[in-house]
Amino acid sequence: MEEELSGKSANQLWKESGTTLSFKDWIQREKEKGMLIPNKLVNDSIALIKSRVGIKDSDSSTVSLEQENSKTILGLNKLAIISSILIIGGALAYNFYKKRK
């Protein structure tokens, strides 16, 4: 089970710990203990990517995913599936008509 420490950088936490270990050794020890030290750059990058893609917090995303799923079949837009079926059906009907003639 990982415990997350938020609000401070790993460097700040290392300095506040008062340890005699080097930063690299301290980080490794914290990871082995199951502590998740957040990386501000990674968290900021993930937040930026989520905002660009349009992903919101997990609470509101379930509602939007349910709405999105009602517009799709097997992950594809209903309009795209219907138009594909019509095109394939038309091609098959045309082939059948040409062979019967």
Pairing of strands 3-4, 35-36: parallel
Q: What is the pLDDT of residues 63-89, one digit of tens each?
A: 555 555 577 777 788 888 899 999 999
Which tokens is 79 given?
A: 């309009």
Quick one: tokens of 48?
Answer: 């930026």
Per residue in 8-66, pLDDT (tens digit) is 777 888 888 888 888 888 888 888 888 777 777 777 888 888 888 877 765 554 555 55
Q: Where are the domains of the chain?
A: 1-55
Q: Predicted confidence band at 2 (pLDDT cuts at 50, 70, 90)?
A: very low
Q: What was the pLDDT predicted at 31? A: 84
H or E segment at 4? strand 3-4
Measure the CA–CA gap between 62 and 84, rounded to whole angstroms.
29
Q: Are 64 and 37 in contact (CB under 8 A)?
A: no
